[in-house]
Amino acid sequence: MNIRILYEDDEVLVIDKPAGFTVNNAETTKNDETIQNWSEAYLKIQVPPTSSQKKFGEEGWRPEDDFFFRGGIVHRLDKETSGALILAKTPQAFVSLQEQFRERTIKKVYTALAHGELMPLEGEINVPVGRLPWNKKSFGIIPGGKESKTIYKVLKFYINPKTKEILSYVELYPQSGRTHQIRVHLKYVNHPIFADFLYAGRKTSRKDRLLLERVFLHAAKISFHHPVSKKSITVEAPLADELASCLQNFTIKA
């Protein structure tokens, strides 16, 4: 696995996650190469015999244990999403960064290509997101879902010369961290992400994937406070090559 390092010091590592790789190990990833496999090898992380794999909130849970069981990986990105991903190099850094995520002080910026002409040019989508009872792999806007908010800004419009469809190149600022939040929110406002096989519709995503074999969603920037120095750090991940190449199929709308 070829991983580009965007930032590194004694406590923190920020990598440019490539699309196509699951972040954390699970029962379903036993035969797959994951970011956690790479992280454990790069950071030389081994689970101490005294560690207990308790979940957050359970009796006996210790936050530093999660560092070892998650290979130092502080948060997640979808398998098909590329971009900035934070890893902690020590248990203490892991605990500090996880706390920042829980307090929502870490700021993330994503870029996406969405179907249609998204209006207004700036706005927010604030609807609850939850796992669909009839499809465990998908999420949606459902009663009892978790509070979710995404602020967005349209950067430019493209036109697909073959179909004449307008596409919106959008910057997104999630204010919460729900699974598939951005993908679900853009679908909710009828502007699903280009090549999104779960939320753009089967026929649409099949056509999209003739031009792009992954979801057009990229974690472009992340800002956090250093766990030791407390200094504010912002790390940017350049647009993945396959996304940049996809954009070349379209013309910018004047």
How much of the chain exceeds pLDDT 90, in percent? 79
The whole-number pLDDT of residue 251 equals 97
Predicted confidence at residue 108, as pLDDT, reads 98
Per-residue model confidence as pLDDT tens digits over 8-42: 999 999 999 999 999 998 877 878 899 999 999 99
Q: What is the mean pLDDT of residues 78-105?
A: 96
> What pLDDT shows up at residue 254?
81
77-82 average pLDDT score: 96
The answer regarding whether domain 4-252 maps to CATH 3.90.980.10 reads no
User: 216: closest CA among 153, 169, 173?
Assistant: 169
What percent of the chain is modeled with pLDDT above 70?
94
Q: Which residue has the tokens 């057009």?
A: 216
Phi, psi (rounded to 5 degrees) for 129: -120, 135
Q: What average pLDDT does this structure show over 111-134?
A: 94
List the catalytic residue out of 66, 78, 196, 208.
Answer: 78
78 is catalytic: yes
| pTM (predicted TM-score) | 0.91
Question: pLDDT at residue 50 above 70?
Answer: no
- Confidence at 132, pLDDT banded by 50, 70, 90: confident
- Give pLDDT tens digits for 199-233: 999 999 999 999 999 999 999 999 999 999 999 99
Dist. CA 144–CA 142, nearest whole Å: 6
